[in-house]
Amino acid sequence: MTREQAHERLEAYVLGELSATERERVEEWLAKDAAMEQDFRQLSELTSLLGEGLRGKPEAPLPALARARIRWRAWRPLGRSKAVFALPLTAALALLSVFVGPVDLEPNSVGDATASSVVEPPAESKVQAVESAEPPRAPSRSPRKRSPIAAPSADPAPANRGRFDSFSSPESAAPRVNGFRSAEPSRGPLSPASEQGRFLDADAEPVSTFSIDVDTASYARLRETIQSGRTPSRADTRIEELVNYFHYDYPAPTGRAPVSISVDAARTPWDSEDSGLVRIGLRARDPGPRSTSNLVFLIDVSASMTPENRLPLLKRALGTLTRELDARDWVSIVVYAGRTAVLLEPTRGSDHEIILRTLEGLSPHGSTNGSGGLQMAYDLARRHFISGGVNRVVLATDGDFNLGIADPDELQQFIERQAQSGVFLSVLGFGASPSGDERLDRLANHGNGNYAYIDGEQEAERVLSQQLRSTLQVVAKDVKVQVTFDPDEVESYRLIGYDNRRLQREDFANDERDAGDLGAATVVTALYEVKTRREVNARKLLSVDVRYKLPTEESSRLLQGSGPSQFVLFDAAPRDLRFAAAVSAFGMLIRGYPDTGTASYELVEQWAEDAIGGKDADERRQFVDLVRAVASMRTCAPPYFLQNGVRRVKPECL
Amino acid sequence: MDDDTTEQWILGVLRRYEEPLLRYATALCGAALAPDVVQDTLLRLCRQREAEVRDHVAQWLFTVCRNRALELRRKQYGDAELDEDIAIPAARLPHATLERQQLLDHALAALQELPARRREVVVLKFSAELSYREIAEVTGLSLSNVGVILHEALKQVRERLREKGVLEEAPRSSGELPQANSKTRSAP
Looking at residue A181, what is its pLDDT? Answer: 25
B70 near A CB under 8 A: no
B1 near A CB under 8 A: no
User: Cα–Cα distance between B14 and B16 in angstroms, integer?
Assistant: 5
DSSP state of B124: I
B16 near A CB under 8 A: no
Runs of H (alpha helix) within A505-651 = 575-591, 601-609, 617-635
Mean pLDDT across A176-197? 37
Phi, psi of A281 (to 5 degrees): -120, 135
CB atoms B26 and A156 under 8 Å: yes
Sign of CA dihedral A561, A564, A565, A570: positive
Q: Is the pLDDT of residue A178 over 90?
A: no
From chain A, the residues in CB contact with B70 under 8 A are: none
- Higher pLDDT, residue A570 or A85: A570
CB atoms A148 and B35 under 8 Å: yes
- Whether A79 contacts A491, CB under 8 Å: no
For chain B, what is the radius of gyration of the CA atoms?
A: 20
Question: B89: cis peptide before it, omega within 30°?
Answer: no
Looking at residue A172, what is its pLDDT? Answer: 33
- Whether A144 contacts A106, CB under 8 Å: no
Per residue in A603-619, pLDDT tens? 999 999 999 998 899 99
Looking at residue A148, what is its pLDDT? Answer: 30
Distance from CA of A483 to the nearest CA of B (A): 14
B184 near A CB under 8 A: yes
User: Cα–Cα distance between A627 and A587 in angstroms, integer?
Assistant: 10
Per residue in A504-525, pLDDT tens? 888 999 998 889 999 999 999 9
B-facing residues of A in 19-38 (CB < 8 A) are 23, 27, 30-38
User: Cα–Cα distance between A65 and A127 in angstroms, integer?
Assistant: 12
User: Cα–Cα distance between A118 and A64 in angstroms, integer?
Assistant: 11
Mean pLDDT across A217-234? 88
CB atoms A190 and B72 under 8 Å: no
CB atoms A509 and B93 under 8 Å: no
Closest CA to A220 of A236, A198, A206, A209: A236
- Higher pLDDT, residue A139 or A206: A206
Looking at residue B63, what is its pLDDT? Answer: 92
User: Cα–Cα distance between B126 and B149 in angstroms, integer?
Assistant: 13
B-facing residues of A in 476-535 (CB < 8 A) are 487, 504-506, 509
Distance from CA of B163 to the nearest CA of A (A): 15
Q: What percent of chain B has pLDDT over 90?
A: 22
Mean pLDDT across A409-415? 78
Q: Which residues of A95-121 are buried (b: 16+ CB within 10 A; e: fewer)?
A: ebeeeeeebbbbbbbbbebebeebebb
* Other beta carbons less than 10 A from residue A478's beta carbon: 23
Phi, psi of B99 (to 5 degrees): -60, -50
- Whether A257 contacts A559, CB under 8 Å: yes
From chain B, the residues in CB contact with A137 under 8 A are: none
Q: Which helix (H) or strand (E) holds B61?
A: helix B57-77
| Candidate from B36, B127, B172 with C-beta closest to A133 | B36
B147 near A CB under 8 A: yes
Phi, psi of A562 (to 5 degrees): -110, 155
- Closest-CA residue of B relative to A166 is B83
Alpha carbon separation from A605 to A506, A572, A583, A622, A644 (Å, rounded): 39, 18, 9, 11, 34
Lowest mean pLDDT among A243-252, A435-444, A565-574, A582-591: A435-444
From chain A, the residues in CB contact with B150 under 8 A are: 11-12, 15
| Candidate from A9, A73, A187 with C-beta closest to B140 | A187
CB atoms A40 and B185 under 8 Å: yes
Mean pLDDT across A453-459? 92
User: Cα–Cα distance between B184 and B175 in angstroms, integer?
Assistant: 19
From chain B, the residues in CB contact with A84 under 8 A are: none
Looking at residue A539, what is its pLDDT? Answer: 64
Looking at residue A88, what is its pLDDT? Answer: 39
Please list the residues that pair with A207 across neighbouring strands. Answer: A484
Looking at residue A261, what is its pLDDT? Answer: 95
B162 near A CB under 8 A: no
Distance from CA of B24 to the nearest CA of A (A): 9
pLDDT tier, A144 (very low <50, low <70, confident <90, very high otherwise): very low
Q: Is the pLDDT of residue A30 over 60?
A: yes
Q: What residues contact A166, with CB distance under 8 A and at least 6 apart?
A: A172, B81, B83
- Whether A333 contacts A299, CB under 8 Å: yes
Distance from CA of B74 to the nearest CA of A (A): 10
Looking at residue B172, what is its pLDDT? Answer: 53
Strand A390-397 relative to strand A424-429, pairing: parallel
Q: What percent of chain A has pLDDT over 70?
A: 76
What single string gives the DSSP state of each residue in A362-399?
----S-S---SHHHHHHHHHHHT--TTSEEEEEEEE-S
Per residue in B151-186, pLDDT tens? 888 988 888 888 888 777 665 544 444 334 444 444
CB atoms A154 and B7 under 8 Å: no
Q: What percent of chain A has pLDDT over 90?
A: 37
CB atoms B83 and A30 under 8 Å: no
B5 near A CB under 8 A: no
CB atoms A12 and B150 under 8 Å: yes
CB atoms A190 and B48 under 8 Å: no
B54 near A CB under 8 A: no
Q: Which residues of B3-21 are buried (b: 16+ CB within 10 A; e: fewer)?
A: eeebbebbbebbeebbbbb
Q: What residues contact A23, with CB distance under 8 A and at least 6 apart?
A: A13, B187
From chain A, the residues in CB contact with B18 under 8 A are: 62
Angle at A555 between CA A551 and CA A556, to 5 degrees: 80
Output the pTM of the full model. 0.67
Per residue in A351-410, pLDDT tens? 999 999 999 999 888 776 545 788 889 999 999 999 888 999 999 998 876 666 667 777
pLDDT tier, A299 (very low <50, low <70, confident <90, very high otherwise): very high
Mean pLDDT across A46-69? 86
Q: Is the pLDDT of residue A173 over 80?
A: no
Lowest mean pLDDT among A92-106, A213-227, A315-329, A460-474: A92-106
CB atoms B170 and A60 under 8 Å: no
User: Cα–Cα distance between A9 and A17 in angstroms, integer?
Assistant: 9
Closest CA to A581 of A591, A566, A571: A571
Per residue in A471-500, pLDDT tens? 889 999 999 999 999 888 888 999 999 988
Most confident of A79-93, A109-123, A431-445: A431-445
Mean pLDDT across A195-213? 88
B13 near A CB under 8 A: no
B130 near A CB under 8 A: no
Looking at residue A147, what is its pLDDT? Answer: 28
CB atoms A130 and B93 under 8 Å: no
Runs of H (alpha helix) within A85-186 = 87-100, 124-131, 158-161, 170-173
Task: Please state at what angle helix A64-75 crosses helix B2-29, rounded to 10 degrees.
Answer: 150
Closest CA to A466 of A360, A296, A299, A615: A615
CB atoms B43 and A133 under 8 Å: no
From chain B, the residues in CB contact with A487 under 8 A are: 44
- Higher pLDDT, residue A168 or A333: A333
Looking at residue A500, what is its pLDDT? Answer: 85
Looking at residue B112, what is its pLDDT? Answer: 85
A-facing residues of B in 106-125 (CB < 8 A) are 107-108, 111-112, 115-117, 122-123, 125
Looking at residue A183, what is its pLDDT? Answer: 27
Per residue in B123-142, pLDDT tens? 999 988 899 999 998 888 88
Mean pLDDT across B17-28? 91
pLDDT tier, B79 (very low <50, low <70, confident <90, very high otherwise): low
- Whether A48 contacts B96, CB under 8 Å: no
Task: Give the amino acid at A565.
Answer: S
Looking at residue A215, what is its pLDDT? Answer: 92
Phi, psi of A181 (to 5 degrees): -85, 130
Mean pLDDT, chain A, rounded, equals 78
Q: Is the pLDDT of residue A437 over 90?
A: no
- Top residue of B5, B57, B174 to mutate, by most chain A CBs within 10 Å, is B174
B171 near A CB under 8 A: yes
CB atoms B150 and A79 under 8 Å: no
Lowest mean pLDDT among A14-18, A486-490, A635-639: A635-639
* Other beta carbons less than 10 A from residue A621's beta carbon: 14
| Candidate from B11, B145, B185 with C-beta closest to A175 | B145
* Other beta carbons less than 10 A from residue A254's beta carbon: 8
User: Cα–Cα distance between A258 and A256 in angstroms, integer?
Assistant: 6
Three-state secondary-structure class, residue A516: strand
pLDDT tier, A559 (very low <50, low <70, confident <90, very high otherwise): very high
From chain A, the residues in CB contact with B65 under 8 A are: none
Interface size between A and B, measured as CB pairs under 8 A: 287
A179 near B CB under 8 A: no
- Closest-CA residue of B relative to A159 is B87
- Top residue of A21, A70, A510 to mutate, by most chain B CBs within 10 Å, is A70
Strand A646-649 relative to strand A293-300, pairing: unpaired
B178 near A CB under 8 A: no
Looking at residue A195, what is its pLDDT? Answer: 63
Task: Please state at what angle helix B57-77 crosses helix B34-46, rounded to 10 degrees.
Answer: 140
A154 near B CB under 8 A: yes
B134 near A CB under 8 A: no
ipTM: 0.84
Per residue in A572-629, pLDDT tens? 999 999 999 999 999 999 988 888 889 999 999 999 999 999 889 999 999 999 999 9
